[in-house]
Amino acid sequence: MKDLIQIHYDNADRPTVSGRELHKALGVETPYTTWVKRMCEYGFSENVDFATCFPNLESENQHGGHNKIDHQLTIPMAKELCMLQRTDKGKQFRQYFIAVEEQWNSPDAIMARALQLSNAKLKEMQITVSTLTVENQIMKPKADYFDDLVDRNLLTGIRETAKEFGIKQKDFVNFLMDKKYLYRDKKGKLTPYAKPLADGLFELKESKNDTTAWSGTQTMITPKGRETFRLLMTGI
Protein backbone atom coordinates (compact mmCIF):
# COMPACT_ATOMS: atom_id res chain seq x y z
CA MET A 1 0.00 0.00 0.00
CA LYS A 2 1.47 3.30 -1.15
CA ASP A 3 1.64 5.98 1.55
CA LEU A 4 -0.41 9.01 0.57
CA ILE A 5 0.25 10.78 3.86
CA GLN A 6 2.38 10.12 6.93
CA ILE A 7 0.71 8.07 9.63
CA HIS A 8 1.60 8.93 13.23
CA TYR A 9 0.87 7.05 16.44
CA ASP A 10 -0.45 8.64 19.64
CA ASN A 11 0.29 7.65 23.23
CA ALA A 12 -2.29 4.88 23.02
CA ASP A 13 -0.39 3.58 19.99
CA ARG A 14 -3.33 4.35 17.71
CA PRO A 15 -2.73 5.53 14.13
CA THR A 16 -3.32 9.25 13.63
CA VAL A 17 -2.73 11.84 10.94
CA SER A 18 -1.75 15.51 11.09
CA GLY A 19 -4.69 17.83 10.48
CA ARG A 20 -2.47 20.34 8.66
CA GLU A 21 -0.94 17.66 6.46
CA LEU A 22 -4.39 16.34 5.56
CA HIS A 23 -5.66 19.87 4.91
CA LYS A 24 -2.77 20.45 2.51
CA ALA A 25 -3.04 17.03 0.84
CA LEU A 26 -6.76 17.54 0.17
CA GLY A 27 -6.04 20.88 -1.49
CA VAL A 28 -8.43 22.80 0.76
CA GLU A 29 -8.22 26.54 0.00
CA THR A 30 -9.83 27.71 3.24
CA PRO A 31 -7.20 28.59 5.90
CA TYR A 32 -6.48 25.64 8.14
CA THR A 33 -7.72 27.11 11.44
CA THR A 34 -11.00 28.18 9.86
CA TRP A 35 -11.44 24.84 8.11
CA VAL A 36 -10.70 22.65 11.13
CA LYS A 37 -12.97 24.75 13.35
CA ARG A 38 -15.81 24.25 10.92
CA MET A 39 -15.08 20.52 10.60
CA CYS A 40 -15.17 20.10 14.38
CA GLU A 41 -18.73 21.41 14.36
CA TYR A 42 -19.79 18.04 12.92
CA GLY A 43 -19.66 16.55 16.39
CA PHE A 44 -16.01 15.64 16.88
CA SER A 45 -14.68 15.76 20.45
CA GLU A 46 -11.22 16.85 21.56
CA ASN A 47 -9.11 14.13 23.23
CA VAL A 48 -11.46 11.55 21.72
CA ASP A 49 -11.39 12.17 17.98
CA PHE A 50 -8.44 14.53 17.89
CA ALA A 51 -5.73 16.10 20.04
CA THR A 52 -4.43 19.66 19.76
CA CYS A 53 -0.69 20.15 19.36
CA PHE A 54 1.75 22.93 18.50
CA PRO A 55 4.58 21.57 16.36
CA ASN A 56 7.27 23.94 15.13
CA LEU A 57 6.18 24.27 11.50
CA GLU A 58 7.83 26.30 8.81
CA SER A 59 5.88 29.28 7.54
CA GLU A 60 4.68 29.22 3.97
CA ASN A 61 7.14 31.88 2.89
CA GLN A 62 10.08 29.81 4.28
CA HIS A 63 11.38 32.71 6.38
CA GLY A 64 11.75 30.55 9.47
CA GLY A 65 9.79 28.39 11.84
CA HIS A 66 7.22 29.29 14.46
CA ASN A 67 4.54 27.47 16.38
CA LYS A 68 1.30 26.86 14.53
CA ILE A 69 -1.62 24.98 15.97
CA ASP A 70 -2.10 21.49 14.57
CA HIS A 71 -4.23 18.49 15.43
CA GLN A 72 -3.58 14.77 15.50
CA LEU A 73 -6.71 13.24 13.99
CA THR A 74 -7.83 9.67 14.55
CA ILE A 75 -8.28 7.66 11.38
CA PRO A 76 -12.11 7.48 11.77
CA MET A 77 -12.24 11.29 12.01
CA ALA A 78 -9.87 11.67 9.05
CA LYS A 79 -12.14 9.38 6.99
CA GLU A 80 -15.20 11.51 7.76
CA LEU A 81 -13.39 14.75 6.95
CA CYS A 82 -12.40 13.30 3.59
CA MET A 83 -16.00 12.33 2.88
CA LEU A 84 -17.21 15.82 3.84
CA GLN A 85 -14.96 17.40 1.17
CA ARG A 86 -16.98 15.72 -1.63
CA THR A 87 -13.95 15.74 -3.94
CA ASP A 88 -11.97 13.13 -5.83
CA LYS A 89 -9.03 13.81 -3.48
CA GLY A 90 -11.31 13.29 -0.52
CA LYS A 91 -12.53 10.00 -1.94
CA GLN A 92 -8.97 8.85 -2.65
CA PHE A 93 -7.75 9.64 0.88
CA ARG A 94 -10.85 8.09 2.45
CA GLN A 95 -10.09 4.82 0.68
CA TYR A 96 -6.49 5.08 1.85
CA PHE A 97 -7.58 5.52 5.48
CA ILE A 98 -9.95 2.55 5.16
CA ALA A 99 -6.96 0.46 4.04
CA VAL A 100 -4.91 1.78 7.00
CA GLU A 101 -7.70 0.73 9.38
CA GLU A 102 -7.99 -2.71 7.82
CA GLN A 103 -4.25 -3.25 8.14
CA TRP A 104 -4.28 -1.96 11.74
CA ASN A 105 -7.12 -4.31 12.69
CA SER A 106 -5.76 -7.36 10.86
CA PRO A 107 -5.14 -10.48 12.99
CA ASP A 108 -1.38 -10.27 12.39
CA ALA A 109 -1.25 -6.61 13.50
CA ILE A 110 -3.36 -7.32 16.57
CA MET A 111 -1.14 -10.27 17.52
CA ALA A 112 1.97 -8.15 16.99
CA ARG A 113 0.64 -5.43 19.31
CA ALA A 114 -0.39 -8.02 21.90
CA LEU A 115 3.08 -9.57 21.76
CA GLN A 116 4.70 -6.15 22.08
CA LEU A 117 2.53 -5.35 25.10
CA SER A 118 3.30 -8.74 26.63
CA ASN A 119 7.04 -8.23 26.15
CA ALA A 120 6.81 -4.77 27.71
CA LYS A 121 4.95 -6.20 30.73
CA LEU A 122 7.47 -9.03 31.01
CA LYS A 123 10.36 -6.57 30.89
CA GLU A 124 8.67 -4.46 33.57
CA MET A 125 8.25 -7.55 35.76
CA GLN A 126 11.87 -8.56 35.19
CA ILE A 127 13.01 -5.09 36.24
CA THR A 128 10.83 -5.32 39.36
CA VAL A 129 12.19 -8.77 40.22
CA SER A 130 15.77 -7.59 39.62
CA THR A 131 15.18 -4.58 41.86
CA LEU A 132 13.74 -6.75 44.62
CA THR A 133 16.63 -9.20 44.28
CA VAL A 134 19.16 -6.39 44.67
CA GLU A 135 17.24 -4.97 47.63
CA ASN A 136 17.11 -8.42 49.25
CA GLN A 137 20.84 -8.87 48.70
CA ILE A 138 21.44 -5.50 50.33
CA MET A 139 19.11 -6.20 53.26
CA LYS A 140 20.12 -9.85 53.88
CA PRO A 141 23.39 -9.09 55.70
CA LYS A 142 21.52 -6.61 57.89
CA ALA A 143 18.75 -9.15 58.57
CA ASP A 144 21.31 -11.86 59.37
CA TYR A 145 23.13 -9.46 61.68
CA PHE A 146 19.99 -8.57 63.64
CA ASP A 147 18.85 -12.21 63.78
CA ASP A 148 22.25 -13.11 65.21
CA LEU A 149 22.01 -10.18 67.63
CA VAL A 150 18.60 -11.35 68.84
CA ASP A 151 19.88 -14.90 69.22
CA ARG A 152 22.87 -13.76 71.21
CA ASN A 153 20.68 -11.59 73.44
CA LEU A 154 18.57 -14.67 74.22
CA LEU A 155 21.57 -16.95 74.65
CA THR A 156 24.03 -16.66 77.53
CA GLY A 157 27.44 -18.11 78.16
CA ILE A 158 28.34 -20.27 81.14
CA ARG A 159 29.98 -17.36 82.98
CA GLU A 160 27.01 -15.03 82.40
CA THR A 161 24.52 -17.72 83.46
CA ALA A 162 26.45 -18.49 86.65
CA LYS A 163 26.50 -14.78 87.47
CA GLU A 164 22.75 -14.58 86.83
CA PHE A 165 22.22 -17.49 89.23
CA GLY A 166 24.47 -15.86 91.83
CA ILE A 167 26.97 -18.72 92.04
CA LYS A 168 30.60 -19.18 91.11
CA GLN A 169 31.36 -20.24 87.55
CA LYS A 170 33.41 -23.22 88.85
CA ASP A 171 30.47 -24.49 90.93
CA PHE A 172 28.08 -24.10 88.00
CA VAL A 173 30.44 -26.00 85.68
CA ASN A 174 30.84 -28.80 88.22
CA PHE A 175 27.04 -29.01 88.51
CA LEU A 176 26.58 -29.30 84.74
CA MET A 177 29.31 -31.94 84.46
CA ASP A 178 28.03 -33.97 87.43
CA LYS A 179 24.52 -34.01 85.92
CA LYS A 180 25.92 -35.10 82.53
CA TYR A 181 24.97 -31.97 80.69
CA LEU A 182 28.55 -31.02 79.80
CA TYR A 183 31.88 -32.77 79.41
CA ARG A 184 35.38 -31.66 78.51
CA ASP A 185 36.68 -32.76 75.12
CA LYS A 186 40.28 -33.74 74.39
CA LYS A 187 41.26 -30.08 74.28
CA GLY A 188 39.59 -29.43 77.63
CA LYS A 189 36.74 -27.49 76.05
CA LEU A 190 33.32 -27.65 77.70
CA THR A 191 30.97 -29.39 75.27
CA PRO A 192 27.31 -30.38 75.69
CA TYR A 193 26.25 -34.00 75.44
CA ALA A 194 24.10 -34.89 72.45
CA LYS A 195 20.81 -35.27 74.36
CA PRO A 196 20.73 -31.90 76.16
CA LEU A 197 21.87 -30.29 72.94
CA ALA A 198 19.04 -31.96 71.06
CA ASP A 199 16.59 -31.02 73.83
CA GLY A 200 17.36 -27.37 73.18
CA LEU A 201 19.17 -26.63 76.44
CA PHE A 202 22.32 -25.53 74.62
CA GLU A 203 23.33 -24.09 71.26
CA LEU A 204 26.75 -24.11 69.64
CA LYS A 205 27.54 -20.75 68.10
CA GLU A 206 30.43 -19.82 65.87
CA SER A 207 32.27 -16.98 67.59
CA LYS A 208 35.36 -14.88 67.13
CA ASN A 209 37.35 -12.32 69.09
CA ASP A 210 38.75 -9.56 66.92
CA THR A 211 41.09 -8.47 69.68
CA THR A 212 42.78 -11.83 70.21
CA ALA A 213 42.07 -13.17 66.70
CA TRP A 214 40.47 -16.24 68.31
CA SER A 215 37.65 -18.01 66.51
CA GLY A 216 35.80 -21.21 67.21
CA THR A 217 32.62 -22.78 68.59
CA GLN A 218 31.18 -21.52 71.86
CA THR A 219 28.69 -23.39 74.06
CA MET A 220 25.72 -21.12 74.82
CA ILE A 221 22.80 -21.76 77.15
CA THR A 222 19.29 -21.17 75.81
CA PRO A 223 16.38 -19.62 77.77
CA LYS A 224 14.97 -23.16 78.11
CA GLY A 225 18.30 -24.35 79.46
CA ARG A 226 18.52 -21.50 82.00
CA GLU A 227 15.03 -22.22 83.31
CA THR A 228 15.77 -25.96 83.52
CA PHE A 229 18.99 -25.43 85.43
CA ARG A 230 17.39 -22.82 87.69
CA LEU A 231 14.72 -25.32 88.75
CA LEU A 232 17.27 -28.10 89.23
CA MET A 233 19.51 -25.88 91.33
CA THR A 234 16.75 -24.61 93.60
CA GLY A 235 17.86 -25.26 97.18
CA ILE A 236 21.52 -25.73 96.26
State pLDDT tens for residues 168-188. Answer: 999 999 999 999 999 999 888
Structural domain boundaries in the chain: 8-105, 155-232
Q: How far apart are CA 170 and CA 22, in angstroms?
A: 100
Is the model more confident about 123 or about 194?
194
Angle at 175 between CA 174 and CA 181, to 5 degrees: 100
Dump pLDDT digits (tens) for 71-93. Answer: 999 999 999 999 999 999 999 99
- The per-residue pLDDT for 177 is 94
Output b/e per residue, 96-115; b: 16+ Cβ within 10 A: bbeebbeebeeeeeeeeeee
Q: How far apart are CA 71 and CA 51, in angstroms?
A: 5
- Mean pLDDT, residues 122-148 taken together: 61
> CA-CA distances (angstroms) from residue 167 to 24, 152, 172, 235?
102, 22, 7, 12
Mean pLDDT of the chain: 80
- 60 pLDDT higher than 60: no
